[in-house]
Structure 1
Amino acid sequence: MSQPHPAPAAAEWRLAVLSVWHPALGAPLDPVAVVGLDQRPGSNAPAHLVWVPLAFEAADPWRELLAGGVTADLLDHWAAQNSAVAVDFVDVPEGAVDLAHAAGLVLDELLAEVLPALPDRGEG
Protein backbone atom coordinates (compact mmCIF):
# COMPACT_ATOMS: atom_id res chain seq x y z
CA MET A 1 0.00 0.00 0.00
CA SER A 2 1.45 3.36 -0.96
CA GLN A 3 1.75 6.34 1.37
CA PRO A 4 -0.40 9.40 0.66
CA HIS A 5 1.43 12.17 -1.10
CA PRO A 6 1.36 15.60 0.52
CA ALA A 7 -0.79 18.14 -1.24
CA PRO A 8 1.10 20.74 -3.28
CA ALA A 9 -0.74 23.43 -1.30
CA ALA A 10 0.81 22.29 2.01
CA ALA A 11 3.46 25.01 1.76
CA GLU A 12 0.63 27.57 1.99
CA TRP A 13 -1.02 26.04 5.06
CA ARG A 14 -0.60 27.38 8.56
CA LEU A 15 -1.51 25.26 11.58
CA ALA A 16 -1.84 26.28 15.20
CA VAL A 17 -2.78 24.64 18.48
CA LEU A 18 -5.15 26.79 20.54
CA SER A 19 -4.70 26.46 24.29
CA VAL A 20 -6.36 27.84 27.40
CA TRP A 21 -5.25 28.45 30.97
CA HIS A 22 -4.40 25.23 32.82
CA PRO A 23 -5.10 25.87 36.53
CA ALA A 24 -2.71 23.19 37.77
CA LEU A 25 0.16 24.50 35.61
CA GLY A 26 -0.60 28.21 35.98
CA ALA A 27 -0.13 28.90 32.28
CA PRO A 28 -2.12 28.65 29.02
CA LEU A 29 -0.92 25.13 28.22
CA ASP A 30 -4.19 23.20 27.91
CA PRO A 31 -4.84 22.48 24.21
CA VAL A 32 -8.50 22.70 23.21
CA ALA A 33 -8.43 23.01 19.41
CA VAL A 34 -6.36 22.91 16.25
CA VAL A 35 -6.92 25.48 13.52
CA GLY A 36 -5.60 25.26 10.00
CA LEU A 37 -5.52 28.13 7.52
CA ASP A 38 -5.05 27.85 3.78
CA GLN A 39 -3.35 31.11 2.88
CA ARG A 40 -3.75 30.73 -0.89
CA PRO A 41 -5.87 33.50 -2.43
CA GLY A 42 -9.31 32.22 -3.38
CA SER A 43 -9.02 28.99 -1.40
CA ASN A 44 -12.32 27.05 -1.30
CA ALA A 45 -11.76 26.08 2.35
CA PRO A 46 -9.60 28.81 3.90
CA ALA A 47 -9.97 27.56 7.49
CA HIS A 48 -10.49 24.25 9.25
CA LEU A 49 -11.05 23.92 13.00
CA VAL A 50 -11.13 20.75 15.09
CA TRP A 51 -11.89 20.72 18.81
CA VAL A 52 -10.32 18.45 21.42
CA PRO A 53 -13.04 16.04 22.59
CA LEU A 54 -14.33 16.55 26.15
CA ALA A 55 -12.83 20.05 26.40
CA PHE A 56 -16.09 21.85 25.69
CA GLU A 57 -16.25 24.06 28.80
CA ALA A 58 -12.51 24.68 28.86
CA ALA A 59 -12.68 25.84 25.24
CA ASP A 60 -15.22 28.62 25.94
CA PRO A 61 -12.63 31.44 25.66
CA TRP A 62 -11.65 30.25 22.19
CA ARG A 63 -15.25 29.75 21.06
CA GLU A 64 -15.89 33.40 21.97
CA LEU A 65 -12.74 34.63 20.20
CA LEU A 66 -13.48 32.60 17.07
CA ALA A 67 -17.16 33.55 16.85
CA GLY A 68 -16.39 36.14 14.20
CA GLY A 69 -14.08 33.86 12.22
CA VAL A 70 -10.35 33.33 12.13
CA THR A 71 -7.62 34.86 9.99
CA ALA A 72 -3.85 34.69 9.94
CA ASP A 73 -3.74 38.25 11.30
CA LEU A 74 -5.99 37.34 14.22
CA LEU A 75 -3.88 34.27 15.04
CA ASP A 76 -0.74 36.42 14.99
CA HIS A 77 -2.44 38.97 17.25
CA TRP A 78 -3.56 36.32 19.74
CA ALA A 79 -0.13 34.65 19.65
CA ALA A 80 1.50 37.95 20.65
CA GLN A 81 -0.81 38.43 23.63
CA ASN A 82 0.13 37.42 27.15
CA SER A 83 -3.19 36.12 28.39
CA ALA A 84 -5.22 33.12 29.47
CA VAL A 85 -5.22 31.79 25.90
CA ALA A 86 -2.30 30.85 23.67
CA VAL A 87 -1.58 30.15 20.01
CA ASP A 88 1.26 27.77 19.21
CA PHE A 89 2.11 27.42 15.55
CA VAL A 90 3.11 23.91 14.46
CA ASP A 91 4.56 22.36 11.32
CA VAL A 92 2.33 20.72 8.76
CA PRO A 93 2.53 16.97 9.47
CA GLU A 94 4.27 14.87 6.86
CA GLY A 95 1.85 13.11 4.54
CA ALA A 96 -1.10 15.48 5.07
CA VAL A 97 -3.23 15.36 1.93
CA ASP A 98 -5.48 18.33 2.67
CA LEU A 99 -5.95 20.97 5.35
CA ALA A 100 -8.56 18.95 7.27
CA HIS A 101 -6.26 15.93 7.28
CA ALA A 102 -3.35 18.07 8.51
CA ALA A 103 -5.41 19.49 11.39
CA GLY A 104 -6.64 15.99 12.25
CA LEU A 105 -3.08 14.64 12.37
CA VAL A 106 -2.08 17.40 14.80
CA LEU A 107 -5.15 16.64 16.93
CA ASP A 108 -4.25 12.93 16.92
CA GLU A 109 -0.78 13.79 18.24
CA LEU A 110 -2.28 15.96 20.99
CA LEU A 111 -4.64 13.17 22.00
CA ALA A 112 -1.92 10.52 21.98
CA GLU A 113 1.05 12.36 23.46
CA VAL A 114 0.33 15.79 24.91
CA LEU A 115 -2.98 15.50 26.73
CA PRO A 116 -2.14 12.27 28.59
CA ALA A 117 1.01 13.95 29.94
CA LEU A 118 -0.83 16.96 31.40
CA PRO A 119 -1.85 16.90 35.06
CA ASP A 120 -5.54 17.03 35.98
CA ARG A 121 -6.97 20.54 35.60
CA GLY A 122 -7.66 20.59 39.32
CA GLU A 123 -11.20 21.85 38.79
CA GLY A 124 -14.27 20.25 39.94
Structure 2
Amino acid sequence: SLNATVHKTSAGAASWLPVARVANLAAALDTLKEAGVWIYGTDASGDAYDKVDLTGPVALVIGSEGFGMGRLVREKCDFLLRLPMCGRITSLNASVAAGIFMYETLRQRTAKA
Protein backbone atom coordinates (compact mmCIF):
# COMPACT_ATOMS: atom_id res chain seq x y z
CA SER A 1 0.00 0.00 0.00
CA LEU A 2 1.02 3.62 -0.38
CA ASN A 3 1.85 4.30 3.24
CA ALA A 4 4.12 6.95 4.77
CA THR A 5 7.24 4.83 4.22
CA VAL A 6 6.49 4.39 0.51
CA HIS A 7 5.85 8.11 0.15
CA LYS A 8 9.10 9.01 1.89
CA THR A 9 11.25 6.57 -0.08
CA SER A 10 9.71 7.76 -3.35
CA ALA A 11 11.08 11.25 -2.59
CA GLY A 12 7.56 12.61 -3.10
CA ALA A 13 7.01 11.04 -6.52
CA ALA A 14 4.11 9.01 -5.10
CA SER A 15 2.18 12.28 -4.86
CA TRP A 16 2.38 12.85 -8.61
CA LEU A 17 2.01 9.39 -10.13
CA PRO A 18 -1.38 7.81 -10.69
CA VAL A 19 -1.71 4.50 -8.87
CA ALA A 20 -4.37 1.89 -9.56
CA ARG A 21 -5.04 -0.91 -7.12
CA VAL A 22 -6.49 -4.06 -8.59
CA ALA A 23 -7.82 -7.20 -6.96
CA ASN A 24 -6.70 -9.46 -9.80
CA LEU A 25 -3.53 -8.57 -11.71
CA ALA A 26 -4.15 -11.08 -14.53
CA ALA A 27 -7.63 -9.62 -15.16
CA ALA A 28 -6.20 -6.09 -15.07
CA LEU A 29 -3.64 -7.08 -17.72
CA ASP A 30 -6.47 -8.39 -19.91
CA THR A 31 -8.28 -5.04 -19.54
CA LEU A 32 -5.12 -3.16 -20.53
CA LYS A 33 -4.69 -5.40 -23.58
CA GLU A 34 -8.27 -4.69 -24.65
CA ALA A 35 -7.40 -0.97 -24.46
CA GLY A 36 -4.46 -1.46 -26.84
CA VAL A 37 -1.66 -1.57 -24.26
CA TRP A 38 1.24 -3.95 -24.88
CA ILE A 39 2.28 -5.87 -21.76
CA TYR A 40 6.03 -6.27 -21.18
CA GLY A 41 7.10 -8.59 -18.38
CA THR A 42 10.62 -8.71 -17.02
CA ASP A 43 12.44 -12.01 -17.03
CA ALA A 44 15.98 -13.26 -17.57
CA SER A 45 14.81 -15.28 -20.60
CA GLY A 46 13.42 -12.21 -22.38
CA ASP A 47 14.73 -10.00 -25.16
CA ALA A 48 17.35 -7.34 -24.41
CA TYR A 49 15.50 -4.31 -23.04
CA ASP A 50 17.27 -1.84 -25.33
CA LYS A 51 16.41 -3.77 -28.52
CA VAL A 52 12.63 -3.50 -28.13
CA ASP A 53 10.39 -0.59 -29.21
CA LEU A 54 8.82 0.88 -26.06
CA THR A 55 7.42 4.04 -27.66
CA GLY A 56 3.79 2.92 -27.83
CA PRO A 57 1.33 2.28 -25.03
CA VAL A 58 3.07 -0.16 -22.68
CA ALA A 59 2.64 -1.64 -19.24
CA LEU A 60 5.71 -2.95 -17.45
CA VAL A 61 5.32 -5.91 -15.12
CA ILE A 62 8.16 -6.21 -12.62
CA GLY A 63 8.40 -9.53 -10.83
CA SER A 64 9.07 -9.81 -7.14
CA GLU A 65 12.64 -10.06 -5.94
CA GLY A 66 13.83 -13.63 -5.95
CA PHE A 67 10.58 -15.10 -7.30
CA GLY A 68 9.84 -13.17 -10.48
CA MET A 69 6.33 -13.21 -11.91
CA GLY A 70 3.71 -15.82 -11.25
CA ARG A 71 2.90 -18.27 -14.05
CA LEU A 72 -0.46 -16.75 -15.00
CA VAL A 73 0.84 -13.17 -15.03
CA ARG A 74 3.83 -14.26 -17.12
CA GLU A 75 1.51 -15.93 -19.63
CA LYS A 76 -0.48 -12.69 -19.95
CA CYS A 77 2.61 -10.76 -21.05
CA ASP A 78 2.95 -10.03 -24.76
CA PHE A 79 6.74 -9.79 -24.51
CA LEU A 80 9.47 -10.50 -21.98
CA LEU A 81 12.41 -8.14 -21.44
CA ARG A 82 15.71 -8.71 -19.69
CA LEU A 83 18.54 -6.66 -18.32
CA PRO A 84 22.10 -7.79 -19.04
CA MET A 85 23.72 -9.43 -16.04
CA CYS A 86 27.38 -10.26 -15.47
CA GLY A 87 29.09 -12.77 -13.24
CA ARG A 88 27.13 -14.44 -10.49
CA ILE A 89 24.47 -11.73 -10.24
CA THR A 90 21.19 -13.05 -11.63
CA SER A 91 18.74 -10.31 -10.66
CA LEU A 92 18.43 -6.80 -9.30
CA ASN A 93 16.31 -5.17 -6.63
CA ALA A 94 12.81 -4.79 -8.12
CA SER A 95 12.82 -1.00 -7.74
CA VAL A 96 16.22 -0.72 -9.44
CA ALA A 97 15.07 -2.90 -12.34
CA ALA A 98 11.82 -0.91 -12.63
CA GLY A 99 13.78 2.33 -12.76
CA ILE A 100 15.97 1.04 -15.58
CA PHE A 101 13.00 -0.17 -17.64
CA MET A 102 11.06 3.06 -17.07
CA TYR A 103 14.08 5.16 -17.99
CA GLU A 104 14.56 3.19 -21.23
CA THR A 105 10.90 3.77 -22.07
CA LEU A 106 11.31 7.50 -21.48
CA ARG A 107 14.59 7.61 -23.40
CA GLN A 108 13.04 6.00 -26.45
CA ARG A 109 9.99 8.26 -26.35
CA THR A 110 11.97 11.48 -26.02
CA ALA A 111 14.42 10.41 -28.75
CA LYS A 112 11.48 9.95 -31.13
CA ALA A 113 9.99 13.38 -30.35
What interval of TM-score do these two structures reach, taking the shorter chain for normalisation?
Answer: 0.3 to 0.5
More strand by share: 1
More helix by share: 2
Larger relative CO (CA 8 A, sep 6+): 1 or 2?
1
TM-score of the superposition, structure 2-length normalised? 0.36
